[in-house]
Structure 1
Amino acid sequence: MREMYPHEEEMPYAREPLKSLYTFQRLFTTLCIVPWWVAYYGLLPRTSRPRESWSIKQIIAVNFTRRVYKVAERAGVTWGTRNPDKPCNNRTLKETRFEWVDPLPEECRSGVVVDDQVPFKKVGAFVWPKVKPTGSGVTGNNGKSTQGSPSSFASSSSDPSTLKEESSEPVIGVFLHGGGYCHMSAHETSNTSKIPRRLMKDKAFDEIYAVEYRLLQHAPFPAAIQDAAAVYAHILRQHELDITVSPITSQGPSVAGTPTIDNHLAPNSWLATTMEVRREKHEIKKRVAMAVKKKGCKIILIGDSAGGNLVLGVARWIRDEGILPPPDGLLLLSPSCDPSHAFPESPSSYIPRPHAETDYLVDTPEPRALLQRTFLGHHPLEVIHSPYVSPASQRCLRAFYGDTFATSVEELCIDRMNTRTIDHLRNMESGPPTPLLDIERSPTNLNHPALACPRGMSLFTDFPKVCVVLGDAERLEKEVIKLVGAMERDGVRVNTVWVKDAVHDILMMGWWDEDVRDRVWKDVEDWISQTVA
């Protein structure tokens, strides 16, 4: 029997034998209710169903999953996880191969990934397809290039008639699975592996690295960003990008720590001068542009749910530090982008997430707060409002855009995004920003992660192209619309795939309407093709 994780100590049914008894009764009673649901919704007219388009199967699946999710909240039950330090025998894998990736290189260790209490570690990755592509310009673990060139890179299992053009660069995906940072894994048998499996089946990528990043049970923030960044750097090195530069900083390496300022420092001792900021911005842009030319492949970061949150964090780290070339696109599938929702300013100010009757996600603040506090680890609670953790939180939006924009984007959650509102966002003038924690904003400081925005950039300045998949019946709808609104405000090219009557993360849900899922997959894969063209 494993030891209790920190976040489980306060859960009412996390101790044995209550844990086993509660889990059993919850599953048993849920199974007993299923026939009642079938009869009840079968007799009701379609107009009285949670969504008129839903079949009986979809209703049962949503209700069943919602009740089972309560087990995780109250008893701390996790599912589909594996030890990230444990290797996997490739003989047991049918579709993927397991590889160890070295820790993030020393020359890349700056910014939010540096933490004295969270060590850099080697990372496991399940790589789709199982057979390593031949004739590619990929370098092996010994650093020597294999025969061939990147232009001839293709999956060995692909049909020659469907291969990309000979002149095209290899298209690599980095998949970060969902599960609230406490469930699931990158293993090919995990539920979330339906996503890379389908993308590989449709030949949208030449390879996909599914990252076995550390969950909150194993290490706190920023461990997951460290692991994903290590795999990203590994792919760049395999495709002949030599990472030899050191970060350019005005005050030495920037480390994400406590968002407080030493009282003995002069008020402006940690601010860069305007000229220093301009010089740094120019040099970093020049360096990144050179790195892009040497990249040798196209990379898209893919994440569903909590994996989408991690994708946003990794993309932000790449942009903020300016050491590695940016990815070519971000594919966000029902991304979690406001974990701070579990920490309202006061109990009375807590606003439940929408669509309680049409999504399987639960929204009880106390257990979510326990999970998020464990995720933060030794960091102060204020870090939950960091752009690296909750980029769509109201406090974060106020800090970067002011109350005017924060209020406007809140209203968009009712009207949703359209061409008129997007143009309005891009053209509107932000009000004065509202500094969090009464700390003066700095254009270059990363020692204050709740306010970090180096070189005077806005929240999503210089982010790559983004595709967002979002169901209009899921509980994260409101925060994802805020995310899209902020990205559009900063000029990011966002393609939003709205899925009518869809719940959270439908591309992972094998029981959803297959025709609907096929249409979503087509939209996603069309976006991928256009992005890497």
Structure 2
Amino acid sequence: MTRVAEQENYRQYMPFARQPLKGIYVAQRMFTTLVMVLWWAFYYTIMPRKYRPRPSWSLRQIICVNFTRRIYKVTELAGVTWGTRNPEETCDSKTLKETHFEWVGPLPEELRAGVIAGSEAEYKRVGVFVWPRDAPEVVKHDPKSSDAAFSEAEAGDVPLVGIFMHGGGYCHMSAHENAPTSKIPRRFIKDKAFTKIYAVEYRLLQHAPFPAQVQDAAAVYYHIVEQHQHHGGNLSGRSDDSSRTQVAKDDGVLRMDYLNAGYAPQDVQDRVANGEARARVAQAAQNTRCKIVLIGDSAGGNLVLALARWIRDEARLPPPDGLLLLSPSCDPSHAFPESPSSYIPRPHADTDYLVDTPEPRALLQRTFLGNHPLEMMHSPYVSPASQKVLRAFYGDAFAESIEDLTIARMNSMNRAHLRDMASAPSTPVPCTPSEGLPGPVPMELGRSPTSLDRPIIASPRGLSLFSDFPRACVVLGDAERLEREATKLVGAMERDGVDVKTVWVKDGAHDVLMMGWWDENVRTLVYNDIETWLKSI
């Protein structure tokens, strides 16, 4: 089925996605919302502050949250998207004021391994908007020159490069400088927090299913690392094919099974066990003359987590130096309950603009999954904070202890408890197919063990869910609907020894740094905390 046909197919599940009902529904929704704005302005002006969703909120904040929530409902019922652009179209840099546009080549074939291998999505070039516009071009160190020729000034002045993945539920927004999410890289560049930021124009679900987004992000990451290699090192491993085992071959792409040692010959097992992969990554990191921070807000945070996991699991590229997760979406499987009775609404229905309705999320269902089964939503690459994933990696005791964590409960005592739970295993708990967690896939089925067709997967080299992840800074509001899943993410990362800095936004809705109408004093305090963390990198 073609992508256009798929888009038309998903619309049949949306009550108001076709004309003339679509036009009627959108028009009445806009009209009634404008009427409600007048009512909200009147009501909250005359009523005492204790009747506001949060007493600290201004009238503008209340109206904007309520207005946005009503408009977001249109996307679920009518399939309306906004702020998008065609990722395959070139943007003329002459039309840009703060950035310049450039193309990054597709991910090299030798790196097409793991969850991104065998995908129905094509590998394509990726557009990026580079902040700041007039940043000097990177000059690669001459590999013929000696180490001594690499000056102390160059070695000491290491640039901090950001890779920004915009939010929008994988359906909305873009990386263009005029997009609402671009407020985030714009502020960081204004504050001189980064030397340069690459905003990735990854393909939205309208253009390709998951994991095409990880493919695009990985291509940009490889491009930046390769640009900053001191010796022009061989990052793709082209001369090291002997260290990879051909598990499956689709369209000439070789894939290696790092996840189940039983698939690999003994010599490969021994090399991996002896730290060959770790040594290769360490060498590449040593030769990389920049620091890289992956930045993502909302769905962009989900993409950052998936990219960081792919980098760790495949052990071909040096890891990023930090993850900046702004209200990250880390449990999309929540929209796909096992049964209607198991659906648990997200918290803070009255204080956030995100909708959380049980209506079919047709765009997500029909395009995110692609040709993968529904169980793919429970992969750690997609929903790392879901109860299924936490239970599979840590056991029932940990999953239950973390299930109801909120920002208010994430105190030092709870953190210590999470880190010290002796019952949490370091490798995934074996699960039977009857539990909904498929076991190893026989080789004769022709699937790669890292395929999303097998959602609960072991990590390579016996690693836990977040072992060997870089340090992270997680920003979230205590009034947003993603509070519960983001707090579970923090708990799981800290359990695995990740250095996590959490920035709680008191009375904050979802992704406040993207909201120009939010309290500027609050936003400034958040940016100050983030930039203090960046200095530690």
Post-superposition Cα deviations, 1:277-316, rounded to whole Å, max 9, x if no partner, equal 4531410011011011111110000000000000000000
Query: Which residue is 2:280 aligned to?
Result: 287
**What is the alpha-carbon distance in structure 2 between the residues aligned to residue 199 and residue 255 of structure 1?**
43
Percent identical pairs in the alignment equals 61
Aligned partners of 1:299 and 1:329 also within 8 Å: yes
> Which stretch shows the higher mean deviation, 94-103 or 447-456?
447-456
1:528 correspondence with 2:534: yes
Query: Which residue is 2:382 aligned to?
Result: 389
Q: 1:40 to 1:169 in 2, by over 3 A?
A: same
1:379 correspondence with 2:358: no
Shift of 1:25: 1.4
Q: 1:373 to 1:501 in 2, by over 3 A?
A: same
Aligned partners of 2:407 and 2:487 also within 8 Å: no
Aligned partners of 1:355 and 1:473 also within 8 Å: yes
Post-superposition Cα deviations, 1:300-351, rounded to whole Å, max 9, x if no partner, equal 0000000000000000000000000000000000000000001112101100
**What is the alpha-carbon distance in structure 2 between the residues aligned to residue 249 and residue 449 of structure 1?**
26
Q: Which runs of 5+ in 2 are unaligned?
A: 143-148, 251-259, 442-447
For the residue of structure 2 that corresponds to 1:12, the secondary structure is coil
Scaled by the length of structure 1, what TM-score is found? 0.88
Post-superposition Cα deviations, 1:395-451, rounded to whole Å, max 9, x if no partner, equal 010010010000011143375312221111111023572626353369x94243432
Shift of 1:28: 1.5
Query: Which residue is 2:246 aligned to?
Result: 252
**What is the alpha-carbon distance in structure 1 between the residues aligned to residue 12 and residue 514 of structure 2?**
30
Query: Which residue is 2:167 aligned to?
Result: 178
> Which stretch shows the higher mean deviation, 169-178 or 361-370?
361-370
Q: 1:455 to 1:408 in 2, by over 3 A?
A: same
Shift of 1:27: 1.1
Query: Which residue is 1:107 aligned to?
Result: 110
Q: 1:478 to 1:269 in 2, by over 3 A?
A: closer
Shift of 1:132: 3.3
Aligned partners of 2:236 and 2:316 also within 8 Å: no
Q: Which runs of 5+ in 1 are unaligned?
A: 141-147, 154-165, 257-267
Post-superposition Cα deviations, 1:6-28, rounded to whole Å, max 9, x if no partner, equal 43231111111221221121111
Post-superposition Cα deviations, 1:20-52, rounded to whole Å, max 9, x if no partner, equal 221121111111221111110111111111101
Shift of 1:137: 3.0
Report the AA paired with residue 350 of structure 1.
Y
**What is the alpha-carbon distance in structure 2 between the residues aligned to residue 176 and residue 317 of structure 1?**
16
1:48 correspondence with 2:51: yes
Aligned partners of 1:386 and 1:452 also within 8 Å: no
> Which stretch shows the higher mean deviation, 334-343 or 107-116?
107-116
Shift of 1:366: 2.8
Q: 1:326 to 1:253 in 2, by over 3 A?
A: farther
**What is the alpha-carbon distance in structure 1 between the residues aligned to residue 278 and residue 473 of structure 2?**
24
Q: 1:513 to 1:490 in 2, by over 3 A?
A: same
Q: 1:431 to 1:315 in 2, by over 3 A?
A: closer
For the residue of structure 2 that corresponds to 1:367, the secondary structure is coil
For the residue of structure 2 that corresponds to 1:366, the secondary structure is coil
1:317 to 294, 300, 310: 310
Query: Which residue is 1:17 aligned to?
Result: 20
Q: 1:414 to 1:98 in 2, by over 3 A?
A: closer
> Which stretch shows the higher mean deviation, 247-256 or 3-12?
247-256
For the residue of structure 2 that corresponds to 1:35, the secondary structure is helix
Query: Which residue is 1:329 aligned to?
Result: 322
Report the AA paired with residue 87 of structure 2.
P
**What is the alpha-carbon distance in structure 1 between the residues aligned to residue 206 and residue 338 of structure 2?**
26
Count how many residue pairs are aligned between Structure 1 and Structure 2: 498
Q: 1:120 to 1:216 in 2, by over 3 A?
A: same
Scaled by the length of structure 2, what TM-score is found? 0.88
